[in-house]
Structure 1
Amino acid sequence: MKKAFLSTKRSYKIIRNHVVTGFIFLMPVLIAIAVLGKFWNQLLALGKKVSRFLYIDTVLGAAGDAIIAVILLLLFCVIAGFLVKLSIFKRMSDWLDEKLARFIPGYNDLRKETEKNIGVAPKAPKEEVFATCMIQTQGYWMPAYLIDVADNGDATVFIPMAPTYSTGQVAIISENSYKKLQIDSKALNEYLVKFGKGIAIA
């Protein structure tokens, strides 16, 4: 009886976890579909008016409304593309993105994925690569980026914090208090992510 109860409880947890995970996954998609559907209905209504005004509906019928709606959508996109290059409209666009991200779960991810798919995603800045070294301090050695070496041998180093390696401190050390490593900062970062595992034999 106890085994059956535990099995039922375990099955319930698995199903519950799948339901929650599926809901979280589908929610941004469903919201996006609902928003786009409402926008399309408004655009279709506008296309219907324009179609009647140009008497296109008498030739193409209901299909004319959809054709005009698509043309209007493309026209709006072209106009918005020009306007967003102006600083005032760029600020408005950023403000609108911030508001949408607050009310629509997954909006930022959906926007980034869309930008990536159409090839307009901003390029990530190129990561600068430095030489590396081990510095001696208080009786033990610490890995660091070797930023610069002066004529007298003193070195400017950046001591990254594990596991993020993007934060740390800058120090100037004497020639005898560091030794160079055979790896660059990019390789060192891979060790830091793993809290330094394997760096002793690098």
Structure 2
Amino acid sequence: MAKFVDSCFNEIEMRRIYRVIRRHIITGFIFLMPVLVAVALINKFWDKIITVAAKVSKLLFINALIGPGGNVLVALVLLLLLCLVAGFLVRLTFFKKMSDRIDQKLTIFIPGYTDLKKEAQKKIGEVPVEKAAVFETCLVQDQECWKPAYLIDIADNGDTIVFFPAAPTFETGQVAIIPKDCYRKLSMDSQTLNACLKQFGKGIVIV
């Protein structure tokens, strides 16, 4: 009997270890996938630069003076010049719109592209400042309790569109249309409400 119990226990433990390892492998793959895609694209782009640099180096006899290292030097100079020109062009309206369209395409085809771009912008100190929208707030009656929400819009008949924010980012949640008698306004805006929700609702005051 003891051997049977030990066998069952070992089998359960092995299954638990398998699930843990499997979960970590999947999580690690999801984490590494954007990085691997970015590295592959950079390598492909660098190969193109090296090909052009080899021709320029041969044309200017740099490879004869420096040797094989001349191709890499020319490639670095070309890359810096390309970035410099792109930096000026992207400030023009036409190229800015083109850049935004390319970003949208890359966001679709490259997992994690947006996060990688934001991290790169943080590194160079050019993080775009996104001004968060501010809304009125209210408490919405839900059976025997009241739930805090953003007051988005009020129709002519008094019905109200509300948004229930979900912690911790408060950028996701649920939209609902409620009758006029099923909510109470709060004396705070959405940013103040978010701060209260982070403290488990402490500070929420009904008008």
TM-score in same-fold range (> 0.5): yes
Partner of 1:53: 59
CA distance in 2, matches of 1:26, 1:200: 42
Unaligned runs of 5+ in 2: 1-6, 140-144, 151-159, 178-183
CA distance in 2, matches of 1:161, 1:179: 13
After superposition, where does 1:20-31 map in structure 2 within 5 Å? 20-31=26-37
CA contact (8 A) 2:149 2:164 kept: no
Distance apart, 1:141 and its partner CA: 8.3
Q: Which residue identity lines up with residue 79 of structure 2 in the other structure?
A: L
Q: Which residue identity lines up with residue 188 of structure 1 in the other structure?
A: L
Partner of 1:191: 196
Q: Which residue identity lines up with residue 191 of structure 1 in the other structure?
A: C
Q: Alignment RMSD, CA only?
A: 4.0
CA contact (8 A) 1:163 1:192 kept: no
Match of 2:18 among 12, 16, 20: 12
Q: Which residue identity lines up with residue 73 of structure 1 in the other structure?
A: L
Match of 2:39 among 22, 30, 33: 33
Over 3 Å counting, the alpha-carbon distance change for 1:189 and 1:103 in structure 2 is same
Q: Are residues 1:116 and 2:119 paired?
A: no
Where 1:163 maps in the other structure, the secondary structure is: strand
Q: Under a length normalisation based on structure 2, what TM-score does the superposition of the two structures give?
A: 0.70
Distance apart, 1:75 and its partner CA: 0.7
Distance apart, 1:86 and its partner CA: 1.6
Q: Are residues 1:42 and 2:48 paired?
A: yes
Distance apart, 1:163 and its partner CA: 3.0
Q: Which residue identity lines up with residue 55 of structure 1 in the other structure?
A: F
Q: Under a length normalisation based on structure 1, what TM-score does the superposition of the two structures give?
A: 0.71
CA distance in 1, matches of 2:108, 2:68: 37
Deviations 1:92-135 (A, max 9, x none): 111111111111111111011111111122112267698x899x
CA contact (8 A) 2:107 2:114 kept: yes
Partner of 1:155: none
Where 1:14 maps in the other structure, the secondary structure is: helix
Over 3 Å counting, the alpha-carbon distance change for 1:144 and 1:102 in structure 2 is closer
Deviations 1:174-202 (A, max 9, x none): xxxx9986x776443223467x6334689
Q: Which residue identity lines up with residue 106 of structure 1 in the other structure?
A: G
User: How many residues of Structure 1 are paired with residues of Structure 2 in the alignment?
Assistant: 186
CA distance in 2, matches of 1:144, 1:162: 5
Q: Are residues 1:69 and 2:71 paired?
A: no
Distance apart, 1:81 and its partner CA: 1.1
CA contact (8 A) 1:162 1:192 kept: no
Partner of 1:149: none
CA distance in 2, matches of 1:69, 1:2: 62
CA distance in 1, matches of 2:119, 2:69: 31
Percent identity of equivalent pairs: 43
Unaligned runs of 5+ in 1: 135-139, 146-157, 170-177
